[in-house]
Amino acid sequence: MNVGDKVVFGDYFTVGYIVKIEIDPISEFDADFQKPEQFATYTIRVFEPFYKDGYADFQRSRDDIALY
Give the model's pLDDT for residue 2. Answer: 87
* Total count of domains within the chain: 1
Give the model's pLDDT for residue 26. Answer: 63
Strand partners, 15: 8
Give the model's pLDDT for residue 25. Answer: 67
Residue 1 belongs to a domain:
no
Give the model's pLDDT for residue 46. Answer: 94
Give the model's pLDDT for residue 54. Answer: 93
pLDDT in tens, 13-61: 889 999 999 887 665 555 555 555 567 889 999 999 999 899 999 998 8
Residue 27 belongs to a domain:
yes
Given CA atoms 46, 9, 63, 58 in this order, what sign does their dihedral have? positive
Residue 51 belongs to a domain:
yes
Cα end-to-end span (Å), the chain: 11
Residue 26 belongs to a domain:
yes
| Cβ proximity of 54 and 42 under 8 Å | no
Give the model's pLDDT for residue 36. Answer: 54
Q: Which domain holds residue 38?
A: 6-67
Q: Give the DSSP H/E element, type plus range, for residue 15.
A: strand 14-23
